[in-house]
Amino acid sequence: MVNPDILLLAIVNISEGVKAFIGDKGAKVVLRDAGRQSGPKLLESLIGHFPGVLDKEEALRRTCIILEDLGFAKSIKKEGGNIVIEEGIFTNAIMGENLSDSPIIHFFEGLIEGFVSFMSNRKVTLVPEVVERSKIIYKYS
């Protein structure tokens, strides 16, 4: 069985490899879209067909609960117009100090956007406002 920490490091390093290959802006776009595409597929594999359509705010609230339960962070909360992630797995796996430059941050925002679109059939857009070792705050609209 693969150690989950090793798998996480591999995913973060893959995102850095994409950045080295196609550049910073391209990697952010590609990784965000990868999250948007994989979010609904992951959620569908976990719960099957979603039985209804939620409004965007409720879909965001449930997304936070599900991602927290799956272990993506110790705490993921919707606070006003923000999603606050504390002790997330991605920021702790990024090498170096310039965390906001890592495209894996954009994968995570895409994953959240994909979960919300799966549950609500509505588009939500996240923008990272704060990226620190143990905290990410995404503003959403």
Give me the domains of the chain, ranges plus CATH numbers.
4-140 (3.30.1380.20)
Instruction: Indicate yes or no: pTM above 0.75.
Output: yes
Task: Tell me how far the alpha carbon of residue 60 is from its chain's centroid.
Answer: 12
pLDDT per position as a tens digit, 56-80 = 999 999 999 999 999 999 999 999 9
Q: What is the mean pLDDT of each run of 10 residues along the chain (141 residues)?
A: 86 93 95 95 86 91 95 95 95 85 94 95 95 95 94
Angle, alpha carbons 68-69-74 (nearest 5°): 40
Query: CA–CA separation, 105 vs 136, rounded Å?
Result: 9
Write down the H helix ranges in the chain.
4-22, 24-47, 56-69, 89-93, 104-120
List residues bridging with 88 in a β-sheet.
73
Query: CA–CA separation, 34 vs 37, rounded Å?
Result: 5
Six-digit token string for 31: 């990784």
